[in-house]
Amino acid sequence: MSTSPIRRETTVADVAAVAKVSKAQAARALGGYGAVSSDVRSRVLKVAEQLGYHPNMLARSMNTGRSHTIGVVVGDIQNPYFSLAMRAISDTAQPAGYDVLLINTGEDVKAEQEAVRVLQDKRVDGYIIAPVLSDDNAHLRAVVDSGRPLVLLDRAVDGLEVDVIATASEQASFEAAQLLLEQGHERIAYISTLKARSDRYGSEKTLGSTPVAQRLGGMRRAFKEAGKEFPASLVRLNAGTDESIHEIVQELLAPPFGATAIMASDSVIALSALEEIANAGLTIPADLSFVMFDDLPWTRLLTPPLTVVSQPVYELGVAVATTLIHRMRGEQFSAEFDFHAQLIRRGSVAAPPHAETIIKRNSVSV
């Protein structure tokens, strides 16, 4: 072996010595700052190349105070919503010279607090967080107090004045509920992973300005306009696991509740719910109507294709990264992003089984 396996990495000092210049000059040439004559620069660079010099970013960061790393905290990187956003963040941050330290919390608040802690210790230059809870913010406040920029993805947090990049979904949700109401549905269920103190949704309870709150707001408005009462008992939160979703769906479909339509808050929930619906032997949309949030490619391949509410997830990711980058650079930045969800009508919504008026109308037209 020509190179010993355990060898010290070459440093600026090594390069400087061989190139016969001062450590400072070598550092300047290597770091690309300060004033260096082209003669010295080329000599230093050549020696560095020969010696296989690689700058130690840890040392550099310690001096400059910038790590050129951003911390991203999400609930579940496996969820297509987040992996797409992550892709966008990565695509945007990389060309700007930032790398991404990714922490997955499994939608657990304690893990999120821990994540923030780690990122602070590692001195990331900025944070992108999709917070689990909207009303527990001590750890997020600590980030803000640290003076490093934080941009929230998807959900705002009560009393925290930071940039929030999210999708306006009240209107799309309104339209979805309206569509269902027009078809004769009244018992419309909504299932979400959103963490809440209770699994049930009380209208009095504030869900903050989370997307879920917006969506329920849109639904309420549709019910109000239709002169019907919003079935708050059909809203289910904390739908974290496959099992819990299966249970929820069973319960919603059974007598006391008897949902005739289900709106799934994201694709992960939808997949579990659809599985359970199939298990129950129900056919969409004849027995049950279905709407899912997020427009994934496979929704078009189902029979019938799913009616969905699409969100500009990639664009959201780009926006959140762009905003953060501007903040980290200390630049003025006040772009107004206007992302809104959009209802895409496909085939999974129809009249409920026993809505006589609708069925009558259908039988006439068919």
Partner DNA sequence: TTGAAAGCGCTAACAA
Partner DNA sequence: TTGTTAGCGCTTTCAA
Name which of a copy of itself, DNA, none residue 30 binds, using a CB cut-off of 5 to 8 Å depending on partner kind. DNA
317 CB neighbour count, 10 Å cutoff: 26
**Residue closer to a copy of itself (CB basis): 77 or 226:** 77
Which 3-state string (H, E, C) describes 174-206?
HHHHHHHHHCCCCCEEEECCCCCCCCECCCCCC
**Choice from 22, 37, 56, 362 touching a copy of itself (CB under 8 A):** 56
Of the listed pieces 33-41, 106-114, 128-136, 206-214, which binds DNA according to CB under 7 A?
33-41
C-beta of residue 218 within 8 angstroms of C-beta of residue 177: yes
Site membership for a copy of itself, residue 286 (CB under 8 A)? no
Q: Does 86 bind a copy of itself (CB under 8 A)?
A: yes
25 near DNA, rule: CB under 7 A: yes
Pick the closer one to a copy of itself by CB: 33 or 197.
33
46, 110, 197, 300: which one binds a copy of itself (CB under 8 A): 300
Tokens standing for residue 263: 């709106």
Choosing from 18, 25, 29, 69, the residue that interacts with a copy of itself (CB under 8 A) is 69
The smaller minimum CB distance to a copy of itself, of residues 198 and 303, is found at: 303
Question: Which residues have a Cβ under 8 Å from the Cβ of 258 and sit 6 or more positions away?
Answer: 187
Which of 113, 120, 137, 209 binds a copy of itself (CB under 8 A)? It is 120
Which residues make beta-bridge pairs with 264?
191, 292
Interaction partner, residue 301 (a copy of itself, DNA, none; CB < 5-8 Å by kind): a copy of itself
146 near DNA, judged by CB under 7 A: no
Kindly state whether residue 110 participates in binding a copy of itself, applying the rule CB under 8 A.
no
Binding mask 109-138 for DNA (x = CB under 7 A): ------------------------------
CB of 14 to DNA, least distance (A): 8
Q: Is the dihedral of CA 252, 257, 263, 265 positive or negative?
A: negative
Three-state helix/strand/coil letters over the chain: CCCCCCCCCCCHHHHHHHHCCCHHHHHHHHHCCCCCCHHHHHHHHHHHHHHCCCCCHHHHHHHHCCCCEEEEEECCCCCHHHHHHHHHHHHHHCCCCCEEEEEECCCCHHHHHHHHHHHHHCCCCEEEECCCCCCCCHHHHHHHHCCCCEEEECCCCCCCCCEEECCECHHHHHHHHHHHHHCCCCCEEEECCCCCCCCECCCCCCCCCCHHHHHHHHHHHHHHHCCCCCCHHHEECCCCCHHHHHHHHHHHHCCCCCCCEEEECCHHHHHHHHHHHHHCCCCCCCCCEEEEECCCHHHHCCCCCCEEEECCHHHHHHHHHHHHHHHHCCCCCCCCCCCECEEECCCCCCCCCCCHHHHHHHHHHC
- Asked whether position 254 contacts a copy of itself by CB under 8 A, the answer is no
Q: Is 18 in the site for DNA (CB under 7 A)?
A: no
Q: Does 11 bind DNA (CB under 7 A)?
A: yes
Residue window 163-202: x/- pattern of binding to a copy of itself, with contact defined by CB under 8 A: ----------------------------------------
User: What is the spatial distance between Cα 156 and Cα 213, in angstroms, rounded to a whole number?
Assistant: 11
- The partner in contact with residue 37, picked from a copy of itself, DNA, none with C-beta cut-offs of 5 to 8 angstroms by kind, is DNA
Site for DNA, residues 40 to 79, rule: CB under 7 A = 40, 53, 55-56, 59-60, 62-64
According to the binding rule CB under 8 A, does residue 78 interact with a copy of itself?
A: yes
Q: Is residue 360 a contact point for a copy of itself (CB under 8 A)?
A: no
Q: Which residues bind to DNA, rule: CB under 7 A?
A: 8-9, 11-13, 21-25, 27-28, 30-31, 33-37, 39-40, 53, 55-56, 59-60, 62-64
Interacting residues toward a copy of itself by CB under 8 A: 3, 5-7, 9, 54-59, 61-62, 67, 69, 76-78, 80, 83-84, 86-87, 90-91, 94, 99-104, 106, 117-118, 120-123, 145-147, 271-272, 274-275, 278, 296-298, 300-303
